[in-house]
Chain A
Amino acid sequence: MTALELSGVAIGDAITPLTRTVTQAQINAYADASGDANPIHLDPAFAVSVGLPGTIAHGMLELGILAEAISVWAGGSANVASLSCRFSKPLRAGDTITCTGTVVSVDEAERVATLEVGASSDRGDRVLTNGRATVRLSR
């Protein structure tokens, strides 16, 4: 995959939103893949015992889905130079996440686009906030 061309990227451009329903099965698969077997993600009774409404997705799984959305726009994950966010609200098992991003600046000298990125759930919660990503561009 190839990087976006600098001349083809402008402030206000939006990535294609990525919507995905995150089932308990997917959370279980992410626990296996990441090695993070914290029971708040896997055991409903334990999650409730620590004050959660039920099991929740790993924040890093949500960030992974957001990174995928940015990577597709960027022409490959190798072009994603940075990504940051706040895990503001939990994403519950079975909820649907929608990841979005918009270009807010383009550095022509460095050939880098900066995007504001984030994600919300179908409950109306903003689950990933204060998100920023930078993407490497080609000439």
Chain B
Amino acid sequence: MTRMNDERRKPDLSTLTPKAQVRDLSFFYGAKQALKSINLSVYDRKVTALIGPSGCGKSTFLRCFNRMHDLYPGNRYQGEIRLFPDDVNLLSPQVDPIEVRMRLSMVFQKPNPFPKSIFENVAYGLRIRGERSRSVLIDRVEEALKGAALWNEVKERLDDVATTLSGGQQQRLCIARALACDPELLLFDEPTSALDPIATASIEELIHELREKITILIVTHNMQQAARVSDFTAYMYLGDLVEFGWTDDVFFRPKQKQTEDYITGRFG
């Protein structure tokens, strides 16, 4: 089953509001430049996919959004990522990375639930945001688990340790954990590459449901996945943004020969 983009209307770009705008973003691991002056708009409540061969910098680019690179020494950002509606530069040294991470959420490639109960995993984000009321936590956890299409499978065993779930369930738990915090932007870093095809399909279906309510930026090494789930696609190669546009256009009417070569599988 493929969700082709013909069912999505393609409004004029000027009617769309950007959720985030990347301006001249460069990134350096020490002396090595991993991202070269990227310019890109992430549109509100749309799914934007980042594709490209290994080492092209798509994960590096994603991790700039929530300042994950700050955790390791020797990294340097250049340029801006402006988040709307308040037009703040996420990369500014004046901006606290913790505050950034409280507005954006990330789901990782390998499911990484905390060694805690299912309930506590989802409640964690709320707890560190200061929520103490047990009844509020219970409601929000249920809401998040329903949003991640996991509620029915775990509602009887919320106190079980998260590691007893299957891989696909753990990843949906991580999504629920991310959703519980009401993020303004949801970042997915190759969320299905460690999962079997059935689990992958359920995650893709989830992304399809979520995009009505929340802006999603997804990195994937699987082109077909990008074609299935995204509205917009960005193709990157060796740190450069080669092409960006509506997914149909990038896949069926690519403007750059490089893009066409990658799409048609001339190299990987």
| A joins B in a complex | no
